[in-house]
Amino acid sequence: MQADRGEGEITSVRYVPPGSSVFVVIMGVTGAGESTIGRMLSEVVNGEFLDADDFHPPSNKEKMHNGLPLSDEDRLPWL
């Protein structure tokens, strides 16, 4: 099923045929709960959750953990 949202509430649900793929991208500022919502959603729909932060090297994760912005050089291997 696929849900449409309006005003923060689900307004309709559409059927997604078996074998189809649905990708959901959740974005927000640091600490807004994107990972929490993504994990919860993946459990509800029995889907796979991938957190973009998991694709960063350890040095980038350390910077992010300490609230330091990543430079373009930091992002290059990740992209």
Q: Tell me: the pLDDT tens digits for 2-43?
A: 555 555 565 566 777 888 888 888 888 878 889 999 999 999
pTM (predicted TM-score): 0.60
pLDDT of residue 14: 72
**SS3 at position 55:** helix
Q: Please report the beta strands in the chain, taking only residues with DSSP state E, as ranges in sequence order.
A: 2-6, 9-14
Q: Which residue has the tokens 């694709």?
A: 55
H or E element in which residue 44 lies: helix 34-44
CA distance 54 to 78: 10
